[in-house]
């Protein structure tokens, strides 16, 4: 009888759970948009305002919070639960029956402020903003590794040379969006981080509280953070030990549901408002427990998944997004998942200690509009620190991503005037197979110190701006103004590391060069006249 009762209870639970649907409800407007934009300190931190101003990022209506009055009214709607909110999309993530959610469109007062609704269930909605998600899973953790092994993962991309030049992440703020951070507030491995005031804050978007240290069933975030911020004197140093960190829980290990994408977007919005520079995410979304919510390979096109669309806005806001490529390379799914499918996200694949492709690392595909993965770092046998303060090894792109994200933080500290796009392109251009990328290693293993050194060498050659180039950014033809005293100019175009791509000669009558064949990114144009050489940068859209 006990077993029969248990079966009935489980059946009722399943009926209840699967009777519920997830959807995004988009609002028509926001409150006080003009006033808020005119007074940005009312909606953003000063650090966020400074970062946007420094990089020419506009403060717009997307920075204004969602109308809380609308949310308060929705909470009173029959059978509706609000799970997350997004100011960038001016939307909330709701859960309820299909009927109750659809009723919002015709029932006052909700109908008056709801613009449209997208269901996560593909059988209900024709909108393809659904996803399937898959966090990067851990391999078996091994103990008894020493720091000598850990040195390989930073030396692989020459991050140690940035450290030797005092670029250790100082002044760069990183938000880690993950599953849980047990013991970070007490571990000796993070004592240096805490004592220097570099552990800024945290928030659990799943449980809606500030407890990111004990209110979790996962140690994943702690392991990820240790690769960047962990420090044990004479034994272990993370790749960005002097960066500042926010810790956000967006992953619900007890459920596989599209609401996790909404948690992520909400966390990214908060990161932007706090002035964060880099977001590291060691999560990926492809399939869900409810297959109606799952994505297909063709949805990994950089613009379909809700989380990917959120990542694209985050990039527009000036954030640099570093994301694990995924651990599906030897599984049925195989390809890079969301949000790493976006061209605006640096997707990090995995190699072993020798630089060889790790078989589990997710691959690129012709489906995706840009090269995926972007680059790789050591993700097989990565050295990290467990929640028990033990140096150990584990495998997964979950670790290649933060290992490299820390190095990129050091590079951005070294080149603080560069935009997120410029830093991303420098990382790609410095990689070992930049001219011959593939779907396994992408552009290859970066050399971040070479990226820094070569950029300085190029910058030192720049002289006055008598010669102008336009339009910039450019799509097809780049025009060059020629000084009166010159009749012909020799023009050379190269990438940011000085690798020559092509050269030509222009005249007053024919003063344009065709750059339509170049990939999206930042390039150097060197213009030679009889009297001088001028070096300028242009952006290819």
In angstroms, rounded to a whole number, what is the distance separating the alpha carbons of residues 528 and 141? 57
Q: Which of 86, 398, 400, 401 is catalytic?
A: 398
In whole angstroms, what is the distance from residue 411 CA to residue 320 CA?
12
Q: What's the rounded Cα separation, in Å, for the pair 327 and 516?
A: 35
CB 259 within 8 A of CB 393: no
Alpha-carbon radius of gyration of the chain: 24
Catalytic residue among 178, 242, 299, 495: 178
Candidate list 204, 218, 220, 324, residue with the active-site label: 220
Residue 398 among the catalytic residues: yes
CA distance 174 to 257: 26
DSSP 357: B
| 8 Å CB contact between 362 and 401 | no
Task: Show Cβ contacts of residue 473 under 8 Å, excluding neighbours closer than 6 positions.
Answer: 538, 539, 540, 541
| Nearest-angstrom CA–CA distance, 24 and 26 | 6
How far apart, in Å, do the first and last CA atoms of the chain sit? 68
Q: Give alpha helix (H) positions in 344-501.
A: 397-414, 420-429, 448-459
- Between CA 62 and CA 423 the distance in angstroms is 24
Catalytic residues: 178, 220, 398
């Amino acid at each position: 009888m006990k077993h029969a009762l248990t079966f009935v209870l489980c059946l009722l639970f399943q009926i209840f759970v699967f009777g519920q649907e997830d959807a995004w409800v988009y609002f028509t407007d926001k409150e006080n948009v003009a006033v808020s934009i005119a007074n940005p300190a009312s909606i953003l931190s000063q650090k966020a305002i400074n970062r946007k101003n420094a990089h020419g990022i506009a403060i717009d209506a997307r920075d204004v919070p969602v109308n809380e009055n609308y949310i308060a009214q929705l909470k009173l709607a029959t059978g509706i639960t609000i799970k997350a909110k997004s100011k960038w999309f001016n939307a909330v993530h709701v859960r309820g029956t299909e009927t109750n959610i659809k009723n919002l469109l015709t029932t006052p007062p909700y109908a008056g402020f709801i613009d449209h609704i997208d269901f996560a269930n593909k059988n209900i909605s024709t909108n393809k903003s659904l996803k399937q998600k898959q966090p990067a899973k851990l391999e078996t953790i091994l103990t008894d590794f020493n720091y000598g092994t850990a040195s390989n993962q930073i030396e692989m991309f020459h991050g140690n040379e940035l450290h030797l030049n005092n670029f250790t992440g100082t002044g760069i703020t990183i938000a880690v969006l993950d599953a849980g951070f047990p013991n970070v507030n007490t571990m000796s491995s993070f004592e240096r981080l805490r004592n220097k005031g570099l552990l800024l804050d945290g928030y659990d978007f799943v449980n809606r509280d500030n407890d990111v240290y004990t209110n979790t069933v996962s140690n994943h975030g702690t392991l990820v953070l240790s690769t960047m911020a962990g420090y044990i004197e004479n034994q272990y140093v993370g790749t960005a030990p002097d960066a500042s960190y926010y810790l956000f829980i967006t992953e619900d290990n007890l459920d596989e549901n599209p609401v996790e994408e909404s948690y992520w977007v909400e966390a990214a919005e908060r990161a932007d408002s706090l002035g964060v520079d880099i977001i590291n995410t060691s999560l990926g979304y492809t399939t869900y427990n409810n297959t109606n919510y799952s994505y297909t390979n063709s949805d990994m096109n950089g613009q379909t998944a809700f989380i990917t669309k959120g990542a694209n806005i985050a990039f527009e806001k000036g954030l640099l997004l570093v994301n694990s490529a995924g651990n599906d390379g030897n599984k049925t799914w195989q390809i890079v998942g969301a949000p790493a499918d976006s061209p605006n996200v640096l997707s990090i694949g995995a190699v072993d200690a020798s630089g060889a492709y790790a078989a589990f690392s997710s691959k690129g595909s012709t489906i995706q509009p840009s090269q995926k993965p972007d680059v790789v770092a050591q993700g097989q046998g990565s050295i990290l620190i467990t929640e028990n303060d033990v140096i150990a090894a584990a495998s997964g792109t979950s670790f290649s991503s933060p290992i490299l994200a820390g190095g990129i933080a050091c590079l951005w500290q070294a080149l603080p005037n560069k935009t997120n796009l410029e830093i991303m392109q420098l990382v790609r251009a410095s990689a070992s197979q930049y001219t011959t990328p593939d779907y396994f290693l992408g552009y290859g293993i970066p050399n971040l110190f070479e990226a820094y050194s070569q950029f300085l060498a190029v910058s030192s050659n720049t002289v006055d701006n008598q010669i102008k180039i336009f339009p910039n950014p450019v799509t097809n033809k780049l025009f060059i103004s020629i000084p009166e005293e010159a009749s012909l100019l020799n023009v050379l175009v190269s990438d940011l590391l000085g690798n020559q791509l092509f050269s030509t000669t222009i005249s007053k009558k024919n003063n344009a060069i065709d750059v339509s064949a170049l990939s999206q990114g930042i390039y150097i144009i060197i213009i030679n006249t009889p009297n001088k050489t001028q070096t300028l940068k242009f952006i290819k859209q």
